[in-house]
């Protein structure tokens, strides 16, 4: 029997393939199941001038804070339990995102889906008549060739140079599994991406024959032909949700938001949590939790 | 029940009334009061509505807001939400930071879009919602900085813009009602300009006018928003046992 090929690599090996100026799609939704360990590795790199495509959460916030985003394709940026993302707000209000591309959430899905089907566009009603078209004159409409003759918005295909998604389980070949309530649009991010830089991080890497011990076959929506690199990333979505492995770290998310209030506190936060590699991040979070628990105990 | 109901309870009922007659569709509430309204309508006069837990499941029974002991009756991940709204089988109640006379609404940003004074959420699903399914609004603070002559970014499409598109969208465009801390409003006028439907107990028509930044259509006779029935008060107690509604609308 021939040997199967393992695609297991590290976050830094994945990020080493990323070049400045690329278009990067990031899976998850808001502050939910974001591939944060890959985002943190990207923050450590010298890569800049990126186009980022995301149902945005702290991934977008952190990349904006690091000045890596030239163009942002988004429907929203939110931390869910905290509605507004502070770094994204600051970047938009300072005008530092050179080219914001604001879409309706469904338009973003359509753009990724068109990209994954290699179609030039997909038609939709979402966006018609709205400010999305006022602020983006490059968006075009298309007339139905059938008797109805309806004018529809032609959402242009989004093609990605790289895609990052975070899953609950994967095998070493890239078959990946989500065990939470929603896959979001992770399959479309992988589908819209050129082969070569389609990266899946996972809480656990397990044997192929164990995948169905974790969940029903319905959870196997990412197959290995959609994936080039697999990264073992326990707690890799922190501080976003990764149900059912863990929920959102609300206290840490709040600390993240509080730290964004001024340059000094953000520098202190970055120095403490974001200056080292992923294992330093995870240790710093563990130490922070112990401190918070001790402080709570002491104040009783 | 006391003779004067809490304002939050009157508002919960006014929100629930948005879904009256909707039948077997997805009643989607974005926010505490909106969710309470949808679940209250389902628990009382509109039993066929589908309501979600706000995450990814349709739930049966009277799930309290924030409750985790769910009877799941279906699965509604975001992709299915998009499919359902494009199919028109949904009536969503959203929030709005700005709204104008014809119901153009804004949750995206305050000030110019290119470099906003205040970046808010982004347009989210507003453009798709408002051209595809019925949309209502709950606005907890009725003031003229919210009810504005022109919104800074159209995240939700109003009647004037829907008419300009014409065809399929103009025919079905359906902004149902707006519930605020002062009043209930709708667009049931010949040119779909915003109309005052009722004022909440203790509120005068002049209070609404003073806090609206454009001319409202005001009928000769403006009734007072109705009080909850005993059955509705029971249901409100089951759905919001912690009284989260009172945080949004203090009495």
The bridge status of strand A151-156 relative to strand A121-124 is antiparallel
Rounded CA gap, B134 and A85, in Å? 29
Average pLDDT of the residues of chain A: 97
B187: CB partners within 8 A, 6+ apart: B102, B103, B159, B175, B193, B194, B195
Classify A289 as helix, strand or coil. Answer: helix
State yes or no: pLDDT of B109 exceeds 60.
yes
State yes or no: pLDDT of A47 exceeds 80.
yes
Q: What is the pLDDT of residues A233-274, one digit of tens each?
A: 999 999 999 999 999 999 999 999 999 999 999 999 999 999
Decide if B249 is inside a domain.
no
**Domain residue spans in chain A?**
8-107+158-232, 124-155, 251-298
Comparing A2-11, A267-276, B117-126, which segment has the lowest mean pLDDT?
A2-11
Q: What is the pLDDT of residues B190-249, one digit of tens each?
A: 999 999 999 999 999 999 999 999 999 999 999 999 999 999 999 999 999 999 999 999
State yes or no: pLDDT of A64 exceeds 50.
yes
Q: Do A123 and A151 meet the contact criterion of CB atoms below 8 Å apart? A: no
Average pLDDT of the residues of chain B: 97
- Within A81-161, strands assigned E span 99-102, 121-124, 140-143, 151-156
Q: Do B238 and B19 meet the contact criterion of CB atoms below 8 Å apart? A: no
State the total domains in chain B: 1
The arrangement of strands across the sheet holding B57-60 comes to B51-52, B57-60, B71-75
Burial (CB count within 10 angstroms: exposed 0-12, middle 13-18, buried 19+), residue B226? middle
Decide if B226 is inside a domain.
yes
Q: What is the pLDDT of residues B21-33, one digit of tens each?
A: 999 999 999 999 9
H or E segment at B44? none
Q: Which whole number is the average pLDDT over B61-86? A: 95
Minimum CA–CA partner of A113 in chain B: B79
- Say whether A129 and B120 touch across the interface (CB within 8 A): no
H or E segment at B53? none
A vs B, Cβ pairs < 8 A, gives 134
Return the percentage of chain B with pLDDT > 90, whole number. Answer: 95
pLDDT band for position B1 (50/70/90)? Answer: very low
Contact of B172 with chain A, judged by CB distance below 8 Å, is answered with no
Decide if B2 is inside a domain.
no
CATH classification of A8-107+158-232, choosing from 1.10.1040.10, 3.40.1080.10, 3.30.870.10, 3.40.50.150?
3.40.1080.10
- Say whether A102 and B108 touch across the interface (CB within 8 A): yes
Q: What is the pLDDT of residues A134-182, one digit of tens each?
A: 999 999 999 999 999 999 999 999 999 999 999 999 999 999 999 999 9
Nearest CB to B78; choose among A29, A84, A151: A29
pLDDT band for position B4 (50/70/90)? Answer: confident
Best mutation target among A105, A127, A260 (most B Cβ atoms within 10 Å) is A105
CATH code of the domain containing B16: 3.40.1080.10
Chain A positions in Cβ-Cβ contact with residue B167 (cut-off 8 Å): 148, 150-151
In this predicted structure, what is the pLDDT of residue B2? 53
Q: Which whole number is the average pLDDT over A127-137? A: 98
Rounded CA gap, A43 and A18, in Å? 12
The domain in which residue B23 lies consists of 7-242
Question: Rg of the Cα trace of chain A?
Answer: 20
What would the two tokens of residue A17 be? 């393939």
Nearest CB to B125; choose among A78, A105, A150: A105
B190: CB partners within 8 A, 6+ apart: none
B49: CB partners within 8 A, 6+ apart: B19, B22, B23, B24, B25, B26, B27, B38, B41, B42
pLDDT band for position B250 (50/70/90)? Answer: confident
- Of B67, B63, B73, the C-alpha closest to B42 is B63
The model's pTM is 0.97
Residue A201 backbone class (left: φ over 0; alpha: ψ -120 to 50; beta: rest):
beta
b/e string for A145-182 if b means 16 or more Cβ within 10 A? eeeeebbbbbbbbbbbbbbbbbbbbbbbbbbbbbbbbb
Q: What is the pLDDT of residues B154-172, one digit of tens each?
A: 999 999 999 999 999 999 9
Contact of B57 with chain A, judged by CB distance below 8 Å, is answered with yes
From the CA of A274, how many Å to the nearest CA of chain B? 25
pLDDT band for position A1 (50/70/90)? Answer: low
């Amino acid at each position: 029997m021939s040997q199967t090929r393992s695609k297991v690599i590290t976050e830094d090996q994945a990020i080493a393939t990323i070049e400045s100026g690329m278009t990067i799609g990031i899976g998850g939704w808001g502050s939910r199941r974001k591939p944060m360990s890959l985002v943190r590795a990207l923050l450590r790199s010298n890569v800049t001038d990126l186009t980022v495509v995301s149902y945005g959460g702290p991934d977008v916030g952190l990349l904006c804070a690091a000045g890596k985003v030239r163009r942002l394709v988004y429907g929203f940026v939110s931390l869910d339990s905290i509605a507004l993302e502070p770094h994204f707000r600051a970047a938009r209000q300072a005008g530092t995102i050179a080219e914001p591309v604001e879409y309706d959430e469904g338009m973003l899905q359509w753009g990724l889906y068109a990209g994954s089907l290699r179609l030039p566009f997909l038609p939709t009603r979402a966006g018609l008549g709205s400010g999305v078209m006022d602020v983006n004159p490059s968006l075009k409409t298309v007339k139905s060739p059938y008797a109805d003759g309806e004018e529809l918005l032609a959402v242009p295909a989004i093609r990605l140079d790289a895609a990052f998604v975070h899953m609950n389980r994967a095998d070493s070949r890239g078959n990946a599994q989500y065990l939470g309530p929603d896959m979001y649009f992770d399959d479309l991010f992988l589908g819209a991406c050129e082969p070569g830089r389609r990266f899946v991080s996972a809480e656990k890497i397990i044997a192929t024959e164990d995948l169905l011990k974790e969940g029903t076959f319905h959870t196997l929506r990412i197959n290995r032909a959609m994936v080039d690199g697999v990264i073992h990333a326990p707690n890799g979505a922190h501080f976003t949700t990764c149900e059912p492995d863990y929920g959102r770290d609300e206290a840490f998310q709040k600390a993240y938001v509080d730290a964004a209030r001024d340059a000094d506190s953000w520098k202190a936060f970055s120095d403490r949590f974001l200056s080292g590699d992923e294992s330093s991040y995870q240790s710093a979070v563990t130490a922070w939790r112990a401190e918070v628990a001790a402080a709570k105990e002491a104040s009783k | 029940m006391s003779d004067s109901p809490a304002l939050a309870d009157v508002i919960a009922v006014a929100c629930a009334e948005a879904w009256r007659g909707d039948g077997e569709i997805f009643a989607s509430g974005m926010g505490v009061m909106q969710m309470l309204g949808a679940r209250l309508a389902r628990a009382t006069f509109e039993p066929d509505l589908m309501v979600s837990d706000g995450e990814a499941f349709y739930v049966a029974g009277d799930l309290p807001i924030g409750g985790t002991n769910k009877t799941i009756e279906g699965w509604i991940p975001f992709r299915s939400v998009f499919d359902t709204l494009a199919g028109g089988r949904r009536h969503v109640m959203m929030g709005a930071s700005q709204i104008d006379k014809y119901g153009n609404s804004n949750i995206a940003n305050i000030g110019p879009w290119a470099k906003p004074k205040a970046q808010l959420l982004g347009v989210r699903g507003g453009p798709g919602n408002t051209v595809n399914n019925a949309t209502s609004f709950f606005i907890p603070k009725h003031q003229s900085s919210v009810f504005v002559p022109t919104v800074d970014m159209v995240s939700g499409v109003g009647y004037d813009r829907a008419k300009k598109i014409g065809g399929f969208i103009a025919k079905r465009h359906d902004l149902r009602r707006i519930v605020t801390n002062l009043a209930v409003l709708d667009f049931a006028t010949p040119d779909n300009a915003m109309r005052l439907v009722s004022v909440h107990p203790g509120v005068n028509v002049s209070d609404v006018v003073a806090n609206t930044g454009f001319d409202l259509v005001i009928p000769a006779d403006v009734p007072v928003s109705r009080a909850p029935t005993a059955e509705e008060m029971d249901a409100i107690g089951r759905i919001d046992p912690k009284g989260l509604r009172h945080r949004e609308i203090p009495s």
